[in-house]
Structures are given as C-alpha cells and as structure tokens.
Amino acid sequence: MEQHLEIDGVMMASGPDCPLCRACRPLRYRLLRQPPFNHAPHGVLMEDGNRRYVDRDVESGVLYTYRVQTVSRGGESEPSPPLTHQLGNPYCGDGRIQRHTGEECDDMNLADGDGCSNECKKEPLFNCVDEPSLCYFYEGDGVCEDFEREMSVRDCGLFTPSGFLDQWATEVQASHTHTHCPAESAVGYPAITKSCQSKVFQGDLSNECLNRLVPCQQAHKNLHKHTTGSKAIYSHPMVATAVIVHLAADGTGYVDQTQCNITVQLIDTKNQTHSLGDWGLSCRSNPLVIPRRPRLRSVRPPITISGCQSNEIYNPMGQSCVHYSCDAIDCQEPVVHDASISCSSPGYFNGARCTVICNRGYTLKIHRDDDIIKTQSDSTATLTCADGKWNKQVSCEPVDCGRPDKYHVHPARPSSQAPPRQRHLHLPPPSTARRL
C-alpha cells in the first residue's frame, strides 16, 4: 500500500444471516423545520429508508431553516447543521451566476467533474462562459485566451512580465550523466510544445530527451533513494526574482508514484549560496515557478535593465543602476516590415524598449533562430535591448484567410493584370453574385 495514502473512512458489510446483525434495524431520519410544518410540528419522520422529501408547505418570502436528525432504536442524534432557503431566492443550480454570493459559474446541475462544481465554483483547468454556464477544458486546446496568458505555457508560450528579462542556461553541469540524456539537454530555450508526463514507463523519455528537460535518472531503479544534482550557469549576473523550472516529466512511474522533490539554490557573484527550499514536482504545476525569498531582497524593489536611464548601466554586484563612462553596446535599429515601431528613446542603448504593432491584416510571430515558436493574436510586442541584442525576434506575417467557402462558384484563373491577393469567381447560371 502507498505509504502516503490517507484513509478517510472504512465501510464494513456483513453476509446474509449474520448473527451479529439479526437484531439490527435500519436507521431512520427526522426532518425538522423552522417555522414548523403545519401537519407535523415535531418534524417529519422518513420511513422505509427514504432520504428525499419535497416540501410543498411553503410560502413566498418566508425564510425556512431545515435540520436532519438520525433516529435509531437507542435514541436520536443531535440535529445537523442548518440549511436555509427562501422561496423565490436564487440558489446554486438555477442557471444564473450570483457573484455576490461567491458563485463563479452555474450550469443548472450539482454534479462535479463537468467544470462547475456542486458549489458553483470553477474546477481546475476549466473555464465557463454564459448563463447557464458552458464549461470547457482550456489547457492544451491551442487557443491563447487572455485569462491564461500568464499561466498556460502550452497555449500561450512563455510569459515574461513587463520590465523583466528571461535568461536561459548557457551551460549545465550534472552530478550523473546518461548516454541518452546529457546535461546539455537543459541548455537554452525550452521546447514549449512538449507537455509534462506522469506515470511514464522506464526508458520512454530517452528519445525526446534532447528536446526538453527530463529527469536523466528516470530509467534507474530506486531513484528516490539517491540524490542527483545539476548546476545551471548563466552568461550574465542579474537580480533573480524567480527560478522557473520547465518539466517534461514529474518523475512518477506506473509502479512507483511517489512524488519527487528538488532542492533549489542560488549562487551569487560572491559564490555565496542562498537556498530557495524544497519543492515537489508535479505536472499540475508546470512550469514550476519558485519565487525568491524576501530575505534575499534589498530594501528597495529589484531594479531591472529596463529601469536604468540612458546614461546608466545595471551593476549586479550592487544591485543598482550606475553611471558609466565607457561606450555601451547599442542595439541595431529594429526593422519589422508591415508594422509600426515606437521606441522609448531616440537611441537603441541598453534598456531601450520598442513597441511593435503589426498593420491591419497581419499577425505577429515570434522567432528563435529560424523557427516560429509563438504566434500572438494581439499583434503587439515589446522589444528590450540588452547587451547589444533585442530580446525577441519578431515579424508580421499576412493573415491567411483560406480558400473562400462559397457554394455554386469556382475560382477562375487569375489574370496577369489582376492585383495581388484578389480572386475572380465565375458563377454558373442561374446563380447571381450578391456579396462575397
């Protein structure tokens, strides 16, 4: 049996004609009401094991309080906690969201697991719209909605707050090596198209190890009895506000489902170690965001590169912006076709920020090397200059409208004089063209 399993209750059943149970009688229930029932001032006794009662002796505008008692041959129990109801008042399950009572959804039923719980609360990874609520599982559907922009890596890509920069490891050193999973697999930008896996078979991850961060000792037996470690090295020292760990697996298997834990430490420029504590690995929390503890913070809020002035540069040792006399490495002028660009300053020095807005009919795409890693629906992005390079590579691509979905027409061959992005359609009689 799993050592961390918790038992909430035990049900015991007897066989037919058990001597110990021959004298037992089924429990009965008494329903109490205030104000009392007209036909039963001392409560309604439920016979034959019936647990459902429809109260038709009610009046509009009157507040009724209900309690239940258990009745056995030896006595009666204490009344249950009260349930109040007023005829005509809204309630969970009526199909209308009463936000002043704490309701987040209402799908006209009290079933759990359909996105809206029996307490009219949204269930994890579900979103609900309209009244009555229509709930759907949004994680991994490929659509980046506004409410999941900061938390869904699979749908929206990696989120970086305004004024901050992401730094990926340039070198990784591991305490243990594996032929199918070298330490270099954790270097650079993570593959956000991969999803976290639970309960994997041994060896399932070896073929995809080079594309994502995986526990390199997954195939070893008794992993939880050994300690493995890795050290990530970054090219530029900065004030870390959080450590983000992207998971491809949480270390659980079909046989051993014990949760794996990791210990995270930060090493500053003076080679001093700062512990961020122990954290459990779970695909439900992917990526794992580990905030920096308050004791590592300075009195003032941490200063980012974008917070420095044009004649200042960020000093990681003093965690502040300082004046410099040497020439800083400026970024080249950003060039994005079919877009408008507005920058925070005339020059493109360290910390300069430029906002790119694609023209109408174009969508924004973010690149890494020659691959498209993210497509945004809002067609707006902010670029930040750091160490002579822009933190993002973007382009504005034409929106693909697709082939016109019209009946009774077929496309004609385009003429050489026709302007681009136009199509001619021939309509066979008796069809007539109105508006396409």
Hey, what domains does the chain have and what are their CATH numbers? Answer: 19-86 (2.60.40), 171-296 (no CATH), 303-415+425-431 (2.10.70.10)
pLDDT at 319: 52
Q: How many percent of the chain have pLDDT more than 70?
A: 70
Which structure tokens are listed for 231?
């050290």
- pTM equals 0.41
**In this predicted model, which residue has the larger pLDDT, 329 or 137?**
137
Contacts of 390 (CB under 8 A, 6+ apart): 331, 334, 354, 383, 384
Distance CA 340, CA 396 (A): 10
Q: How many percent of the chain have pLDDT more than 90?
A: 16
Q: Is-cis flag, bond preceding 132, omega within 30? A: yes
pLDDT at 139: 79
Distance CA 245, CA 360 (A): 37
Digit-coded pLDDT (tens) for 42-91: 999 987 767 788 898 898 889 999 999 998 888 899 999 998 888 888 88
Using the CB atoms, write b or e for 295-312: b if 16+ within 10 Å.
eeeeeeebbbbbebeeeb
Q: Per-residue pLDDT for 203 more than 60?
A: no
Digit-coded pLDDT (tens) for 144-192: 888 888 777 777 877 777 777 788 888 888 877 666 667 777 788 776 5
Q: Per-residue pLDDT for 301 more than 50?
A: no
Distance CA 395, CA 382 (A): 12
User: Could you tell me which residues are beta bridge partners of residue 135?
Assistant: 128
pLDDT at 371: 59
Q: State in Å, rounded, how far the first CA of the chain is from the last one.
A: 66
Q: Per-residue pLDDT for 103 more than 90?
A: yes
Distance CA 317, CA 304 (A): 13
Distance CA 369, CA 138 (A): 29
Cβ atoms within 10 Å, residue 212: 21
Cβ contact 345:355 at 8 Å: no
